[in-house]
Amino acid sequence: MLEKSNRSFKNMPVKRFLLGFVIFLCSVGTFEVLLRLLNYPYIGCRKMDEVAEYQIGRYDPQLGWSYAPSRSVNHWDNKTYTFSKEGYRAQSVADEPDYKKPFILIVGDSFLFGHGLDFDETFGHKLAVQLHDTYNVLNFAVQGYGLDQVYLRLQQLIPKYNPRYVIVDIHEDQDYRNVNRDRRAFFPCSKLTGTKPVFSLVNNQLVLMHPPERFETYDEPRLRLLVRRVGEVMSQKSNAKDALSKRIYQEMKQYVTAHHAELFEINYQMAVRDYQTDGKTASSSAIVVDYGKEYAVDGVHPNGNATTRMVKDFMNAFGTVLIPQ
């Protein structure tokens, strides 16, 4: 009897472990069911809206998402988004650059892309007209991009086009995008094909911690999404996002300069950052544009009037550089 009791006692840790493991699995399963009943991360979304990069884009293993080339889409906002075979926004899919002209590359997010605008209303088209078509002004901006994706995209484009000038946009949302992997955190009622790349600072150097991850379905474990989101919120509340944005910008500018191009920045609705000034009181490469909600498509993105003013302000700042007297 004593020997049997000893065996039972020795088996107790194993039984406790198994019982704890079963309770853990049941808790995880219950939490997953609860999140699905709440429809997390799509809480409050009766109908799934498709963000533009899903409807007109595709999964990109380096950038997270990019636009499909040689395609023209009449978008839900009744605007036509057309992309050349090389992937930049164009008047028609047959558009081809003239390699006898120097290049200006526009690489940013929805503000420079022209969200809610037809092609002839965009900043890039109006700038090309203002420059009398002496440059190939190619608009490779993509909606929803962080500054990290802009930097990675430039690494793809600059060796191919050898631009003379590069134009990017900078605004506050990019700080949060740079530390965010899943854009559904910002647009929960949307369908996306995958996550975006995320860098971290290791000894003040950029290290790619999370490459893009393609969604096999839009219904991956909700608990995993929640855990990931909690981690990102913690990152966004720290100073890490500011330091990360600064380092991305610095490396991006160094990359552009090393390839014999000049970088210009359009700071949208925000002041020029300290790290853009290189310790100077003012930046010679950046302008600030903030025209108010009356100049916005949806209260946020510049409309046709705003892009006209953007080109005017840009030319006032850099016209003598682009068109030497």
Which pLDDT does position 187 carry in this prediction? 73
Return the closest-CA partner of residue 122 out of 285, 266, 264, 270.
266
Report whether CATH 3.40.50.1110 matches the domain 52-322: yes
Which pLDDT does position 207 carry in this prediction? 93
User: Mean pLDDT of residues grouped by 10 in the chain (325 residues)?
Assistant: 52 70 78 79 62 70 93 80 95 94 97 94 97 96 95 98 97 90 75 84 90 74 77 64 92 97 95 79 82 90 96 95 76
Q: Which residues of 104-121 are buried (b: 16+ CB within 10 A; e: fewer)?
A: bbbbbbbbbbbbbbebeb
Which pLDDT does position 251 carry in this prediction? 96
CA end-to-end span of the chain: 105
| pTM for this entry | 0.84
Exposure of 234 by Cβ count < 10 A (0-12 exposed, 13-18 middle, 19+ buried)? exposed
Could you give the angle at the alpha carbon of 115 between the alpha carbons of 314 and 176, nearest 5°?
Answer: 85
Which pLDDT does position 229 carry in this prediction? 72
